[in-house]
Amino acid sequence: MLRIATESEGTPAEEQTAFAGLPALAALLPHAVSPRGLLVEWLSEGSGSGVVSLAARSVLQQLEQTAWAVIDPDGDFFPAMCGWSPSMSKPLVLRPGSAQDLFWTVEQCLRCPGLGLTWCRVERAPPLVLRRWKLAAETGGGTGFLFRPASARKQPTWADLRWLVTTQPGTAAGRRWRIETLYCRGGFSGAAVILEQHHATGAVRVVAELGSATGAPRTPQAARAGAGAVC
């Protein structure tokens, strides 16, 4: 009876959907995605692209509720985002010294049920390692974020989702990104949206796009998200 009652109530992780902090991103997906066992690749070009802060904002609620780990092989991670919210838990920062240790560390973190989110900046990872990470994420039930260079789009992936984040010239109000779905398991890819983050408040909104005959196709969910909506 206890088990039945527990299951009917549902755990917080089951109630959540992925990217709850940025509904515009969730709207690009063909269906609601659970964060449990999810492996996501964020592709971007060069340093200073803002992809990490964008990803952190998309899972802000998750970061406040669960433990999270940052694999930082270069040792230059600065936890500024811990100051965004007073209730955000502190990350477990890991600094593996070699590529082998890096692969092992990511797998261990993804496999651990006690971690809600694991993120790592990795340039190259063999397909076998990526496959192991995907299986580890499914075993652990957490979410894995991999930040990779845009050149990795030509490489095969075992991730459930692959975003391409392209920086765009910002305005006086905020900085902008174009986010495109390169791959989504069980759905179509190619949906894109332009987001703008306000400098002072940190709020992210969808930028209205002018109609274009050659623009990337958008899913019905993306259209529903609407232009100008604050996320």
Binding positions for other proteins, rule: CB under 8 A? 2-3, 6, 11, 45-53, 56, 66-67, 75-86, 90-97, 101, 104-105, 108-109, 112-115, 147, 167-170, 172, 175-177, 199, 202
Q: Which residues contact 36 (CB under 8 A, 6 or more apart)?
A: 13, 14, 141, 142, 143
- Is residue 205 within 8 A of residue 196, CB to CB? The reply is yes
**Closest to other proteins by CB, 18 or 56:** 56
Min separation Cβ 165 and other proteins, Å: 10
**Closest to other proteins by CB, 52 or 129:** 52
DSSP string, 156-202: ----SEEEEEEEE---SSEEEEEEEEEEETTS----EEEEEEETTT-
Compute CA distances 14 → 10, 17, 39, 135, whole Å: 6, 8, 16, 19
**Closest to other proteins by CB, 87 or 214:** 87
Instruction: Tell me whether residue 17 is exposed, middle or buried, using C-beta atoms within 10 angstroms of its C-beta: 0 to 12, 13 to 18, 19 or more.
Output: middle
**Closest to other proteins by CB, 169 or 186:** 169
Min separation Cβ 166 and other proteins, Å: 8
**Closest to other proteins by CB, 26 or 52:** 52
Min separation Cβ 30 and other proteins, Å: 28
Min separation Cβ 96 and other proteins, Å: 6
Instruction: Tell me whether residue 127 is exposed, middle or buried, using C-beta atoms within 10 angstroms of its C-beta: 0 to 12, 13 to 18, 19 or more.
Output: exposed
**Closest to other proteins by CB, 61 or 84:** 84
Min separation Cβ 140 and other proteins, Å: 9
A 10 A CB-CB count for 194 gives 18
Min separation Cβ 158 and other proteins, Å: 22
Which of 184, 186, 120 lies closest to 147 in space, CA to CA? 120
